[in-house]
Structure 1
Amino acid sequence: MTRIVLSTGNVILSGPSIIRKPGTYRSNFEFTNSLRTNFIAAQQDYAAALPNGNGHASHQPNGNVNGYNSRPAPEVWTAKEEDTLYIPRIDWESAGLQEDRAQYEITAKLFFLPTAPAEKREIYINDALRLVTKELGISDVDLLIISFPGISFEGECEFEADRKNATMGNDDEEAATWGPLEKLQEQGKIGRLGVAEFGTEKLRRLINKVKVRPAVDQINIKNCCNVPPPLTKLAKNENIELLTHHDSTDILPSGTLRELLGQGSQGAGVLADNGLSGIKGEITPEWVVKYTAFVKDRGVIENKGYFAGAELAGEA
């Protein structure tokens, strides 16, 4: 089994090609498009540094893929470290923030994907947090928001959305996931904990099951007029901050990862496909983490990006 880690780098520096478009799936568009941008940049940069200019290029039947005649071999621009394959390889030496840690508000949002088993979530949490802190050169994040699969906040009105939300997800799995988060907070690695898409009943039930209640509840009210009054009241009574967002709850849809890594015109040419060489096996997306580093005194985002984790079962 091989672990796969995908990264976008700092999307703030990537130019207009990854700017989010209006619509329901803005975060999904930003994530997937910025991954493609980073793959292409890594292929060009690492191949150009080799003596022959493009490494052991893998010939593409259409002659022109991603803007040039051939892709470099995956081993040129990816990196294998023990059982983890980084796509693309990451220059950790150039990572880090420009100012002192105290100048930043660091927020991360971790999306657990429906294709991944709930019993491995502690591993996903540790992996995601390790990558974010290593990328930013820090030891902790100020806020970590957890987005569980199968939970949304949608309906004809806020009351319908709140009612439907109460039946979603799995209360026991969500409470079990909260334990490792509480331990990380006790260790000083997380300042505040938050959840996403928790309506009134979902939030009340979680509060009753955990030791450390969420400090933040992030709700997408794009299909509703307002936050439901019962949720507002509960949040106020429990001192929980309500925030709104526009992230997709389906940030890495089924089949998207294979398309991103495959041999097609929009793929990175990493997976074996269409008679071309590459890594083989079944690939299962597990989690995505979105992170931002906000400079408090200047009111700007200096660094923003994504990591994603997947499992490759079979030949690597």
Structure 2
Amino acid sequence: MKLILSTSNIMSGGPSVIRRPTFEKSNTELTSSLRANFAANQSSSSNAPTHHSHSLDSTLNGDCTRPSFRDWTAQEGDTLQIPAHAPSPLTEPREAYDITVKLFYLPNIPANRRCIQTREAIDLVLRELGTTSIDLLIVSFPGISFDADDEDSDSEFEQSPSSGPASTEDGETAPEDIETMITSWRTLEGLHEQKIIAKLGVAEFGCQRLSKFLPKTRVRPSVDQINVRDCCVVPKPLILYAKKEGIELLTHNDCTNVLPRGTLREILGAGEKGVGVLSGEGRGEGLKGDVEPQWVVKYTAVVKDRGVVESKGYFAVAELREA
């Protein structure tokens, strides 16, 4: 079963969402926004008439306060929306906005799934915002961590082509080889050629990786988004190289593995910090099986002339496989 998790527009999600600091890391922002959206929908379903069978199931499972997940989610075929979701289209004409999307490919997910995953992620964002195009799409490949102190670190731990996800000695996901990245990039180039995406960008690419990547592209990245961690100094070699190649350097505060499996299991689980979509701990109503995050997408729509973020949110997709 496919699970589609959404935060809705976190800019209009209430004080608990709006008051979070703007410098919050993406993984923290994602999980806290998901929890806030789930709680709001659970609360709404608690105040609405519920199906007798669902209320009875909750009582039998020892939970008299938590509404059944069936009351606030929506299932169509083999896809479950968590929560039931309706798009929130932008209010002004399309040309009034700058729309930026960042797509996180997650560790340990085969790269051959990315063509379908990319199109699915973009379709969800376009449908959510009620538009047909995106100004900038930045893609985050798993296992890459920019090191401002060592530009040569780009070339470490590279895999042989078609070897699939690998791990370093400390258990972290190793960067993919350039050929695997280019295969995924071809899908993005196709969306650019269809004028669905105006500009493409990458994340965490230093000089070494850019020099290997750029010659193999048909549509070159216009943006390189890097995490400079605790400092704000972009290394001079990268500044000079990016200027020479016409690439804009941006900084961010995201992490590569934005939604670990354990975190997702906790959010959806039957424990005190979960929402009861998954069964466990003596509660039998939830879905049974192993949940595996597939990808995460973050979108932001800024009103150009006012510099105001009108819409911001996340979608995450996971697969639930029976144990």
Structure 2 length-normalised TM: 0.88
Q: What residue number does 2:170 align with?
A: none
Structure 1 CA distance for aligned equivalents of residues 303 and 252 of structure 2: 20
Given that residues 112 and 149 in structure 1 are in contact (C-alpha distance below 8 angstroms), is that contact kept between their aligned partners in structure 2? yes
Runs of 5+ in structure 1 lacking a partner?
A: 64-68
**Partner residue of 1:159 out of 131, 143, 149:** 149
Return closer, same or farther for 1:279/1:187 CA change in 2, 3 Å cut-off.
same
- Contact 2:41–2:83 (Cα < 8 Å) also in 1: yes
Tell me which of 237, 242, 255 is aligned to 2:244: 237
Q: What's the RMSD between the two structures over aligned residues? A: 2.1
Corresponding residue of 2:184? 177
- Does 1:186 pair with 2:185? no
How far apart are 1:54 and its partner, in Å? 11
* Aligned amino acid, residue 303 of structure 1: S
The within-5 A match list for 1:274-293 is 274-277=281-284, 278-293=286-301
Contact preservation (8 Å) 2:106, 2:256: no
Q: Which amino acid aligns with 1:77?
A: W
Partner of 1:134: 127
Residues 55-134 of structure 1 aligned to structure 2 (within 5 Å) = 56=55, 58-59=58-59, 70-92=65-87, 95-134=88-127
Cα distance in 2, alignment partners of residues 61 and 78 from structure 1: 19
Q: Deviation per CA, 1:62-104: give whole Å up to 9, x if none.
A: 86xxxxx522212111111222111111023xx2011111100
- Identity, in percent, stands at 48
Q: Which amino acid aligns with 1:9?
A: S
Partner in structure 1 of residue 315 of structure 2? 307
Distance 1:60 1:270, change over 3 A: farther
Cα distance in 2 for residues equivalent to 1:188 and 1:22: 31
1:35 equivalent in alignment to 2:34:
yes
> Which sections of structure 2, spanning at least 5 residues, go unmatched?
158-174
CA distance in 1, matches of 2:108, 2:60: 31
SS at match of 1:312: strand
Q: Is the 8 A contact 1:115 1:285 kept in 2?
A: no
Partners of 1:119 and 1:75 in 2: CA distance:
33
Which digits, 9 at most, give the CA deviation of each residue in 1:118-158, with x for residues without a partner? Answer: 1101111011101111111011111000001000113xxx2
Asked whether the 8 Å contact 1:259–1:267 carries over to 2, the reply is yes
Show the counterpart of 2:14: 15
Post-superposition offset of 1:183: 0.4
Q: Distance in 2 between matches of 1:221 and 1:166?
A: 18
- Counterpart of 1:283, as a letter, is V
**Cα pair 1:48 1:54 within 8 Å, conserved:** no
Instruction: Report if aligned partners of 1:142, 1:190 keep a CA contact under 8 Å in 2.
Output: yes
The AA in structure 2 aligned to 1:30 is E
Is 1:54–1:72's contact at 8 Å kept on the other side of the alignment? no
| Distance in 2 (alpha carbons) for counterparts of 1:4 and 1:98 | 28
Alpha-carbon offset, residue 46 of structure 1? 3.0
Change (3 A) 1:72 1:51: closer
Q: What amino acid is aligned across from residue 141 of structure 1 in structure 2?
A: I
| Cα distance in 1 for residues equivalent to 2:322 and 2:216 | 39
Give, in whole Å, the separation in 1 of the partners of 2:20 and 2:143: 24
Q: Take 1:43 and 1:22, find their aligned partners in 2: how far apart are those partners?
A: 26
Distance 1:53 1:46, change over 3 A: farther
What's the counterpart of residue 249 of structure 1?
Answer: 256
2:261 is paired with a residue of what secondary structure?
Answer: coil
Name the SS of the counterpart of 1:188 in structure 2: coil
Distance 1:136 1:59 in 2: 39
Closer, same or farther: CA 61–21 of 1 in aligned 2, 3 Å? farther
For these two proteins, the number of residue pairs brought into alignment is 302
Distance in structure 2 (CA, Å) of the matches to 1:227 and 1:54: 58
Cα separation, 2, equivalents of 1:222 and 1:212: 29
**Native 8 Å contact 2:222 2:247 kept in 1:** yes
TM-score by length of 1: 0.89
Letter in 2 for 1:287: W
Which AA in structure 1 matches 2:193? E
Distance 1:22 1:100, change over 3 A: closer
